[in-house]
């Protein structure tokens, strides 16, 4: 845990005075609402950045962001796969409340477990427009909003980003696509690049195209007379499969039988090149903020949608994407808000994706509507004050086919359960002593396990979807 006194010692007097003024602003929201740039990586592992320990991947722009802001060391994705986390990010709520979004939506809108299959059969698999989303709340509060990147929250037009408060929206529909020819994974290999809901073709590496669009929008929006504060959502597809480095363009789309489509089997140098290109793209976005004079009034947040695949760099965490062990859900997260958040500090407390939603909403002065309260908490306020957040229990549930993963974290204790048909495995860990989850304490601490199971059961009743 860090304290405000520690922050004070680390900052020069001028910076600390600015921080003191900013505290009044963020607590009372008397200051002008900030711009927000929310950046998401896809399948990025906890140890895949230089500032998180990577030795063979160069990420100078994200490393700089960490030096100038807050680096979260126990940050979790709300889901062990991408669509779940993205739903939690946009709503600020457990994605289980929506229904059907407990694993990644399949190619062309396929459901991958019973509830998702049921909704897909009636063309209802996606994030409904009836859900209150952060971009719509911000848009209603006077923000200009834009999306450039991966959507993956429904293929039907009724789930379009335009129906959730994004205008404009340049995006790919699904989970993965050829980085150069912008066709979805086999077997369909359908063109999935969209601009405001319409199919569009553009030549270029997807990571570059998404950054190009973001930079243009920042420059155009800020050049307007009486420009509004803005919210830019920039979810990259990198380093999700197919594994293609930026210098590997071919005249034809990647063959359906190419091993590059297979998650977790990236050539190490290609995987590193994909992340490095994403870092370069982020650098261009940060430069655009500086060039338009917006850097000092912009909250920039970076995170990943779930843990890394087997292609991610080893970081001592157990397992990979799709599981609720630490390697499947613990991800990097960085937040910079110059003059408001302290620079160069670590936030050591557990936090999750939907906490970013609440933090952004509070910074912008907007509230969740009646009937759809946020499940997350404001972690930026906690980081600013140098205080621990309120005590709480965090929950996970991910489903695919007959397999269900659960996890519960209370303090340093974490219960993990995996059910696959009739087979069930359960584990209890003390993450303070065993962050690699190697020692199962289930038999030694039965009372703790029972308490966490009970909490999980009550949570599952609470988040039961209504559709």
Active site residues: 82, 152
- Tell me if residue 106 falls in helix, strand or coil: coil
In this structure, the number of other CB atoms found within 10 A of the CB of residue 392 comes to 14
- Tell me if residue 71 falls in helix, strand or coil: strand
Sign of CA dihedral 187, 193, 197, 202: negative
Taking the alpha carbons at both ends of the chain, their separation in whole angstroms is 41
- Tell me if residue 269 falls in helix, strand or coil: helix
Q: Are 260 and 254 in contact (CB under 8 A)?
A: yes
Shortest CA distance to 376 belongs to which of 388, 392, 387? Answer: 392
Q: Distance from CA of residue 161 to its chain's centroid?
A: 16
Residues, the chain: 467
Structure tokens at 319: 């397992």
Is-cis flag, bond preceding 168, omega within 30? Answer: yes
Tally the C-alpha atoms within 13 A of residue 38's C-alpha that lie toward its C-beta: 25
Structure tokens at 88: 């939690």
Q: State the Cα–Cα distance between residues 86 and 101, nearest whole angstrom.
A: 9
Shortest CA distance to 102 belongs to which of 418, 317, 423, 400? Answer: 400
314: enclosing H helix or E strand = none
Q: State the Cα–Cα distance between residues 168 and 151, nearest whole angstrom.
A: 13
Please report, for residues 28, 202, 281, 283, the alpha-carbon distance to residue 297 in angstroms, rounded to integers and kept in the order given: 17, 32, 20, 17
Is-cis flag, bond preceding 242, omega within 30? Answer: yes
């Amino acid at each position: 845990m860090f304290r405000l006194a520690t922050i004070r010692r680390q900052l020069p007097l001028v910076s600390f005075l600015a921080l003191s003024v900013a505290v009044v602003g963020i607590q009372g929201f008397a200051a002008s609402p900030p711009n927000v740039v929310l950046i998401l990586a896809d399948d990025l592992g906890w140890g895949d950045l230089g500032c998180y320990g990577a030795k063979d991947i160069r990420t100078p722009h994200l490393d700089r962001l960490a030096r100038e802001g807050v680096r979260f060391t126990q940050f979790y994705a709300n889901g062990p796969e991408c669509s779940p986390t993205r739903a939690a990010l946009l709503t600020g709520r457990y994605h289980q409340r929506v229904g059907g979004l407990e694993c990644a939506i399949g190619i062309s809108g396929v459901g991958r477990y019973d509830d998702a299959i049921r909704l897909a059969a009636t063309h209802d698999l996606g994030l409904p427009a009836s859900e209150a989303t952060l971009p719509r709340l911000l848009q209603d509060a006077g923000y200009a909003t834009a999306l450039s990147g991966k959507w993956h929250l429904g293929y039907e037009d009724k789930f379009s980003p335009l129906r959730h408060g994004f205008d404009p929206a340049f995006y790919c529909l699904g989970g993965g696509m050829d980085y150069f020819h912008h066709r979805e994974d086999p077997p369909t290999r359908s063109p999935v690049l969209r601009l405001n809901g319409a199919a569009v073709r553009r030549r270029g590496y997807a990571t570059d195209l998404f950054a190009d669009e973001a930079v243009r929008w920042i420059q155009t929006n800020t050049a307007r007379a009486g420009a509004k504060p803005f919210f830019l959502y920039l979810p990259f597809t990198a380093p999700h499969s197919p594994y293609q480095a930026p210098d590997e363009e071919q005249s034809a789309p990647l063959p359906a039988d190419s091993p590059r489509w297979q998650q977790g089997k990236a050539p190490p140098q290609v995987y590193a090149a994909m992340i490095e290109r994403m870092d370069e793209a982020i650098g261009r976005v940060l430069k655009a903020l500086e060039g338009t004079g917006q850097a000092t009034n912009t909250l920039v947040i970076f995170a990943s949608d779930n843990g890394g695949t087997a292609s991610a760099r080893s970081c001592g965490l157990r397992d990979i994407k799709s599981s609720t062990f630490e390697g499947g859900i613990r991800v990097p997260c960085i937040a910079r808000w110059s003059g408001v958040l302290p620079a160069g500090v670590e936030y050591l407390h557990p936090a999750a994706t939907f906490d970013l939603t609440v933090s952004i909403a509070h910074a912008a002065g907007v509230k969740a509507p009646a009937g759809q309260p946020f499940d997350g908490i404001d972690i930026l306020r906690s980081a600013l004050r140098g205080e621990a957040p309120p005590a709480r229990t965090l929950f996970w549930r991910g489903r695919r086919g007959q397999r269900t993963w659960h996890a519960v974290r209370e303090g340093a204790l974490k219960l993990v359960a995996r059910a696959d048909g009739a087979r069930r495995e359960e584990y209890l860990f003390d993450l303070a002593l065993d962050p690699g989850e190697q020692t199962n304490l289930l038999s030694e601490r039965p009372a703790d396990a029972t308490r966490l199971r009970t909490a999980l059961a009550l949570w599952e009743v609470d988040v039961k979807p209504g559709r």
